[in-house]
A and B are shown apart, each in its own frame.
Chain A
Amino acid sequence: MSGDPIYTEMIIEYSRNPSNFGKIENPQIHRHDSNPLCGDSIDLYVNTDGTKITEVKFDGKGCAICMACTSVLTEMIQNKNLDEVKNFQKDELLAELGLEHLIKTSPVRIKCALLSLKALKYGIYSYFVEKMNDVEAAGNLKEEAASLY
């Protein structure tokens, strides 16, 4: 292989042993999303006390990139303020795994990397709009999510 590495030790390790893997029963936020190209298919479960993320888990099946990125995302948002999480940017996530180059080099695989972030943004959007009746707080999360692939 040459060029920018994708399959680093860290990614292989996460894909084999994903973090926060599992299900939360009756979570406050639940979002299923899939990537028809790869067949990546994940469910993201999040609980919050209204200001902070208190618990986050995911399950599903996917390629190594998807599994690693989802794992890292769940680690990064654990115990964070909802406001912070709302503004969480894709670059932060990609940088954590050294995958920034995918934006340029692989318009196809970038979708695998950002699937979980997309699910998260949609999930929080639905939480604000449907559970909290607070369209303002939801801001442009929906548009942001849609622009992630």
Chain B
Amino acid sequence: MQSTQYSLDSIRNDFPVLERKVRDNKALVYLDNAATTQKPIQVIDAITDYYKNHNSNIHRAVHALAEESTEAFEVTRSKVAKFLNVVNNDEIIFVRGTTEAINLVAYAWGRDNVQKGDIVVTTEYEHHSNIVPWQILTQETGAELRYIDIDKNGELMLEQLDEHLATGRVKLVAVSHVSNVLGTITDIKEIITKCKNAGSKILIDGAQAVPHMKVDISDLDCDFYAFSAHKMLGPTGVGVLWARKELLEKMRPFQGGGDMIREVHKFETTYNDLPYKFEAGTPNVADVICFSAAIDYLTKIGMDNVRNHEIELTKYALEKMSKVNGLVIYGPKNSEKQGGVISFNFEDVHPHDVATIVDKNGVAIRSGHHCAQVLMEKLDVAATNRASFYIYTTKQEIDVLINSLEEVAKVFKL
């Protein structure tokens, strides 16, 4: 593809796995990027380098290796802050992933701030990780859980948010920035403004946004923001919770243990400063450090270029997919309004049959409920197929997908 400003060929050369052959020597066409992305050689090398040359625990010992590791760990923190335009590095908390970040908020903030009679609002297109913690919290506290429904284009019906907020009882609105199934880009600026006016806190699940578009947290002015490294070229086991300092300072710790303390006595403990108060125990040092290389990689390409590349691919794919017999596409069907994610089904063909047929051609798509069973219920399907793109995806790969989908239509005589 020539029209984007970056060289797709040289990007692809950085990803060893893209040379893989699968299923009877077919070139791998990896279209499951919403689940996790592949890793460039720079990230893979960083992890090897860490274990070969620097491995040590951080924040405690004074020896040379410990100092190097601690330094590298904190460098990643400042890179993350810069990447998101966050001024205060102490607001970046390293966790295991988006799921842990949201649970941290549900426990450490929710337990003290949500009471009987209060309302927590989420939406029909959330990942289970942005539903289940709120179910647990509201069940435990006697608070109420409410939803913002989606319309037929897979967009949120924001007038429902107005109704919820009008009760004056909403303590938190938890919403994803981009839907992992429909790809819908949420109008979060609008939602944030509404929440502020109504005095509600707002948490954003950015797992599908930070990897794919420029996210400026200072500009957004929300309260909590969560995402995962593994969906943006980084390693598994690393995620970030960003939260406002005033909130973090008032919150109780999530877990107790080493590193999160200042002084421990037999019956009382004083807690460490931010961000360490929320990073109990030995963190995932190696993976946090090599996450740096992923951020460098994306920064070099430029997030606007990443987004433009995905818009172009999505437009191309939507156009071609709409011509395949019997294929139904869910969501906005508009490349400007959605991320590089397309969910679809063939009328009366089970998604796993579709995935198996395209897999024979080396194409990796996801079939299932995508950890979004509330949304599946709304769409009235048990599962969908999902193709999701990233910086290394090419139009030729989308052509392989389309040919395989045509094969599905033929096999099932649609």
Closest residue on chain A to residue B360 by CB atoms: A1
Q: Does any Cβ of B come within 8 Å of A139's Cβ? A: no
B181 to chain A, nearest CB (A): 14
Query: Which of B348, B353, B382, B383 touches A7 (beta carbons < 8 Å)?
Result: B353
Contact B352 A3 (CB under 8 A): no
Contact of B413 among A6, A12, A66, A112 (CB under 8 A): A12
A61–B382 touching, CB < 8 Å: yes
**Which of B349, B350, B382, B411 lies at the interface centre, i.e. has the most chain A CB atoms within 10 A of its CB?**
B350
A1-B357 CB under 8 A given contacts A39-B368, A64-B349, A64-B350: yes
Q: B residues 119-153 with Cβ under 8 Å of A?
A: none
B68: CB under 8 A from chain A?
no
Q: A3-B24, A12-B411 are in contact. Are A38 and B352 (CB under 8 A)?
A: yes
A21 to chain B, nearest CB (A): 14
Query: How far is B383's CA from A137's CA once the two chains are assembled, in angstroms?
Result: 40
Contacts of B316 in A (CB 8 A): none
Q: Note all chain A residues with C-beta closer than 8 A to B382.
A: 39, 41, 61
Number of interface residues of B (CB under 8 A): 21
Q: Which of A2, A37, A38, A41 has the most CB of B within 10 A?
A: A38
Q: Select which of A1, A6, A63 is within 8 A of B350 by beta carbon.
A: A63
Q: Is the CB of A38 within 8 A of B357?
A: no
Q: Is B407 an interface residue (CB 8 A)?
A: yes
Complex Cα distance, B385 from A38, in Å, reads: 11
B361, CB-defined interface residue at 8 Å: yes
- One digit per residue, 1 when the CB lies within 8 angstroms of any chain A CB and 0 when it does not, for chain B 340-354 equals 000000001111110
B350 touches A62 (CB 8 A): yes
Given the known A-B contacts A12-B413, A39-B368, A39-B369, are A3 and B360 also in contact in the complex, defined by CB atoms under 8 Å? Answer: yes
Are A1 and B353 closer than 8 Å at their CB atoms? no
Question: In residues 346-375 of chain B, which contact A (Cβ within 8 Å)?
Answer: 348-353, 356-357, 360-361, 368-369
B378 interface residue per 8 A CB criterion: no
Of chain B, the residue at the smallest CB distance from A38 is B352
Chain B residues lying within 8 Å of A63, measured Cβ to Cβ, are 350-353
| A105 and chain B: residue at smallest CB distance | B23
Which of A1, A39, A66 makes the CB contact (< 8 A) with B383?
A: A39
Given the known A-B contacts A37-B368, A38-B350, A64-B350, are A109 and B356 also in contact in the complex, defined by CB atoms under 8 Å? Answer: yes
Closest A residue, CB atoms, query B26: A2
* Nearest chain A residue, comparing its CB with the CB of B349: A64
Contact residues of A between 24 and 48, Cβ < 8 Å to B = 37-41
The DSSP consensus for interface residues of chain A is loop
Q: How far is the CA of A106 from the CA of B22 in the complex (A)?
A: 13
State the CA gap A109–B24 with chains docked (Å).
Answer: 18
Query: Most A CB atoms within 10 A — which of B351, B352, B411?
Result: B352
Residues of the A chain whose Cβ atoms lie less than 8 Å from the Cβ of B349: 64
Q: Please tell me if the beta carbons of A7 and B24 are within 8 angstroms of each other in the complex.
A: no
> A38 contacts which of B23, B360, B361, B383 (Cβ < 8 Å)?
B383
Q: Tell me the nearest residue of chain B to A8, going by C-beta.
A: B411
Q: Cβ of A65: which chain B residues have Cβ within 8 Å of it?
A: 352-353
A60-87 CB mask vs B (1 if < 8 Å, else 0) is 0111111000000000000000000000
B357 touches A7 (CB 8 A): yes
Closest residue of chain A to B350, judged by CB?
A63
Quote the shortest CB–CB distance from B68 to chain A (angstroms).
43
Chain A residues with CB under 8 A of B352: 37-38, 63, 65, 109, 112
> How near does chain A come to B235, taking the closest CB pair, in angstroms?
25
Chain A residues closer than 8 Å to B361, beta-carbon distance = 1
- Give CA–CA (A38, B349) in the complex, Å: 12
Q: How far is the CA of A139 from the CA of B44 in the complex (A)?
A: 52
Contacts of B350 in A (CB 8 A): 38-40, 62-64, 66
Please, how many angstroms separate the alpha-carbon atoms of A92 and B237 in the complex? Answer: 44
Q: Distance in Å from the Cβ of B28 to the closest Cβ of chain A?
A: 15
Which chain A residue shows the least CB distance to B413?
Answer: A12
Q: For B359, give the chain A residue with the smallest CB separation.
A: A106
Chain B residues near A106: list those with CB within 8 A: 356
A3–B349 Cα distance when bound, in Å, is: 21
Task: Report the bound CA distance from A65 to B351 in whole Å.
Answer: 12
Contacts of A66 in B (CB 8 A): 350
Cβ distance B61 to chain A, nearest Cβ, rounded Å? 45
Q: Once the chains bind, are B356 and A2 in contact (CB under 8 Å)?
A: no
A2 to B361, CA, bound (A): 8
CB neighbours of B348 from chain A (8 A): 16
Known pairs A2-B23, A63-B352; list 17 more (Cβ under 8 Å).
A1-B357, A1-B360, A2-B26, A3-B24, A6-B356, A6-B357, A7-B411, A16-B348, A39-B382, A62-B350, A63-B351, A63-B353, A64-B350, A65-B352, A65-B353, A109-B352, A109-B356
Which A residues have a C-beta under 8 Å from some C-beta of B?
Answer: 1-3, 6-7, 12, 15-16, 37-41, 61-66, 106, 109, 112
A-B contact list, 18 entries, CB within 8 Å: A1-B361, A3-B360, A6-B356, A7-B353, A7-B357, A7-B412, A12-B411, A38-B368, A38-B383, A40-B350, A62-B350, A63-B351, A63-B352, A63-B353, A66-B350, A109-B352, A109-B356, A112-B352
